[in-house]
C-alpha cells in the first residue's frame, strides 16, 4: 500500500486542515479553562476565546445578534435540535407536514422519520425539477398552498451526491410568502457558498458542519436561530449562568448549550473560518471548480465512466461528482484507488439514499470524488491515470 495519501473525499471531511486550525486546538488545550465556571484567569481566558470565536463566525455569516449562533457537536445535532426543539415548543405538532427535497442527507431524513413514527408528523418530498434542479417550483407552490400550510421546509443547500445547488433565490421568497420557516442544511455548502443570514430573512434556521468547507476540526457545528423563533431545549444541564434556577435559561446561546463546551473545537473552527476569509470564498470555490473541470476534461472520452446527476461542465455545482465505472462496482473502484495508488474517494450511498433513488443507484451506490482547497492539478492527473489503469483489469 502507498504510504502517502492523495485525498479526494473532502465532502466527507476536509483534509488536511490549515496549520492555523491545528495550532488553535493545541493552543487552547494547553491553557484550558472552563468558561463561566470559575473566577480565575483560565476561566476568564476561556470565556474570551469562546466569545471571540462566536463573534468571528457570526460576523462572517452576517448574523447581527451573535448570541443566536449556537455551537453544537455537528450538523446532525443542529438538525435534531431544530426538529425536537420545534416539537417541544409546539411550533411543530402531530399532523403537521415538513417539506424536504429528494436530496436530503440522513441527518435530516432519519430524524424526521423518527418523529414521523413517534410524533405523527408528516414528511412530504418536493419532487426535483425536470431540468435537473433540486426542487420543482410548480410542485413546491402547490404544496405550500395546501391546507394546512406546512410547518417547516428542511432543505439541503447542496447535494453531497451530485453537487447540485438549491436555487435559494427562487425558493426563499416562496417560503416567505406562505410563512413557512426554512431549515437550511449547509453541511456541504458552508465555506463554498456564502449565505448572508443578516440579509436573507427567509432562512429561519441555518445549520452547518465545522469540519468540511470551513476546514475546522470534527466534532463541532453551528446552529443559527433567527430572532422570533424559539426552540425548546431537548436536554438540560449546567450553563454557568442562572445557576440558582433549575430551569434552563430563557436566552441564547445558553438555552441550547448546556454542559462544558468543546472549547478547543470552537477555537479550531474559528481558525478554519478565518482561513476561508483570508483566502477568499470565491477564490476557494473557483480553484476547486478548476480541479473539477480538469477531472471532467480528462475523463470526457472515457466511455467506461458515467457522471451521474449533473452536467459535467456546469460551473454552478459544488466541486464533487459521483460516477459509475463500467465493469466494476463502486466499492471495487474505491478499493483499487486506495490500495494501488493511495488515493481516497468515497463509495456507497453517501448517507443519502433518497438522492440515490432519484439516480436509480440505491442498490449499487456510486463512487464519488470531491475536491478541496489543498488538492492540486497533479493529484487530479494521478487520479485519472489510476482510473485508466483499472480499465485494463478484467471485470
Cell of 350: 453517501
Considering only CA atoms, which of 217, 222, 256 is closest in space to residue 86?
256
How confident is the model over 21-45, as a mean pLDDT?
A: 90
- Helix, strand, coil percentages in the chain from 3-state DSSP, rounded to 5: 40, 15, 45
The pLDDT value given to residue 135: 97
- When comparing pLDDT for 394 and 204, which is higher? 204
Strands 97-100 and 152-156: parallel
Q: How far apart are CA 202 and CA 183, in angstroms?
A: 10
Quote the crossing angle between the two packed helices 263-279 and 281-299, to the nearest 10°. Answer: 80
Q: Is the pLDDT of residue 395 over 80?
A: no
Cell of 312: 459535467
Cα dihedral 322, 328, 329, 331 sign = negative
The pLDDT value given to residue 315: 77
Kindly report which listed range (33-47, 168-182, 291-305, 362-376) carries the lowest average pLDDT score.
33-47
The pLDDT value given to residue 132: 87
Cell of 303: 466511455
Angle (CA) 46 62 213, round 5°: 75
CA distances from 295 to 135, 158, 163, 301, 359 (A): 27, 20, 15, 11, 21
How confident is the model over 32-44, as a mean pLDDT?
A: 86
Q: Is the pLDDT of residue 180 over 60?
A: yes
Angle (CA) 324 105 273, round 5°: 100
The pLDDT value given to residue 270: 98
Walk me through the domains of the chain, giving residue ranges and CATH numbers: 6-17+280-390 (3.90.1150.10), 19-278 (3.40.640.10)
pLDDT band at 2 (very low <50, low <70, confident <90, very high): very low
Q: How far apart are CA 205 and CA 225, in angstroms?
A: 5
How confident is the model over 320-334, as a mean pLDDT?
A: 96
The pLDDT value given to residue 184: 98
As a whole-number percent, the residues of the chain with pLDDT over 90 amount to 87
Q: What is the mean pLDDT of the chain?
A: 95
Continuous H helices in 90-149:
106-119, 137-144
Bridge partners of 158, per DSSP, are 165
The pLDDT value given to residue 3: 64
CA distances from 67 to 51, 227, 277, 335, 354 (A): 9, 10, 21, 45, 35
Q: Mark residue 60 as left, alpha or beta (left: phi above 0; alpha: psi -120 to 50; beta: remaining).
A: alpha
Per-residue pLDDT reduced to its tens digit, 205-232: 999 999 999 999 999 999 999 999 999 9
Q: How far apart are CA 275 and CA 20, in angstroms?
A: 8
Strands 182-185 and 152-156: parallel
Angle (CA) 228 230 232, round 5°: 175
Q: How far apart are CA 378 and CA 86, in angstroms?
A: 48
Cell of 274: 478565518
Bridge partners of 308, per DSSP, are 322
Q: Is the pLDDT of residue 34 over 70?
A: yes
CB-based contacts of 284, cutoff 8 Å, min separation 6: 191, 192, 276, 373
- When comparing pLDDT for 369 and 235, which is higher? 369
Amino acid at each position: 500500500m502507498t504510504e502517502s495519501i492523495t485525498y479526494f473525499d473532502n465532502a466527507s471531511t476536509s483534509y488536511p486542515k490549515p496549520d492555523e486550525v491545528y495550532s488553535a486546538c493545541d493552543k487552547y488545550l494547553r491553557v484550558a479553562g472552563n468558561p463561566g465556571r470559575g473566577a480565575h484567569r483560565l476561566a476568564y481566558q476561556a470565556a474570551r476565546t469562546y466569545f471571540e470565536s462566536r463573534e468571528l463566525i457570526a460576523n462572517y455569516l452576517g448574523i447581527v445578534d451573535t448570541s443566536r449562533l449556537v455551537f453544537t457537536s455537528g450538523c446532525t445535532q443542529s438538525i435534531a435540535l431544530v426538529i425536537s426543539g420545534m416539537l417541544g415548543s409546539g411550533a411543530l405538532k402531530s399532523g403537521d407536514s415538513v417539506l424536504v427535497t429528494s436530496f436530503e442527507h440522513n441527518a435530516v431524513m432519519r430524524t424526521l422519520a423518527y418523529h414521523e413514527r413517534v410524533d405523527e408528523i408528516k414528511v412530504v418530498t418536493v419532487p426535483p425539477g425536470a431540468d435537473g434542479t433540486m426542487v420543482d417550483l410548480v410542485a413546491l407552490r402547490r404544496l405550500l398552498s395546501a391546507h394546512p400550510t406546512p410547518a417547516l421546509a428542511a432543505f439541503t443547500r447542496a447535494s453531497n451526491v451530485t453537487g447540485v445547488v438549491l436555487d435559494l433565490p427562487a425558493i426563499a421568497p416562496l417560503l416567505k410568502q406562505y410563512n413557512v420557516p426554512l431549515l437550511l442544511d449547509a453541511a456541504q455548502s458552508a465555506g463554498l457558498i456564502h449565505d448572508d443570514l443578516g440579509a436573507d430573512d427567509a432562512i429561519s434556521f441555518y445549520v452547518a458542519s465545522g469540519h468540511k468547507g470551513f476546514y475546522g476540526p470534527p466534532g463541532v457545528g453551528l446552529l443559527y436561530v433567527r430572532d422570533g423563533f424559539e426552540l425548546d431545549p431537548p436536554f438540560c444541564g449546567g450553563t454557568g449562568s442562572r445557576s440558582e434556577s433549575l430551569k434552563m435559561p430563557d436566552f441564547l446561546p445558553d438555552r441550547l448549550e448546556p454542559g462544558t463546551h468543546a472549547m478547543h473545537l470552537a477555537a479550531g473552527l474559528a481558525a478554519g473560518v478565518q482561513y476561508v476569509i483570508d483566502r477568499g470564498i470565491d477564490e476557494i470555490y473557483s480553484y476547486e471548480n478548476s480541479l473539477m473541470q480538469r477531472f471532467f476534461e480528462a475523463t470526457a472520452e472515457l466511455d467506461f465512466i458515467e457522471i451521474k446527476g449533473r452536467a459535467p461542465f456546469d460551473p454552478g455545482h459544488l466541486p464533487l461528482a459521483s460516477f459509475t465505472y463500467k465493469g466494476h462496482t463502486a466499492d471495487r473502484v474505491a478499493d483499487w484507488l486506495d490500495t494501488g495508488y493511495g488515493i481516497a474517494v468515497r463509495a456507497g450511498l453517501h448517507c443519502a439514499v433518497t438522492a440515490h433513488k432519484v439516480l436509480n443507484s440505491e442498490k449499487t451506490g456510486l463512487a464519488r470524488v470531491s475536491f478541496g482547497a489543498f488538492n492540486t492539478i497533479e493529484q487530479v492527473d494521478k487520479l485519472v491515470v489510476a482510473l485508466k489503469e483499472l480499465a485494463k483489469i478484467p471485470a
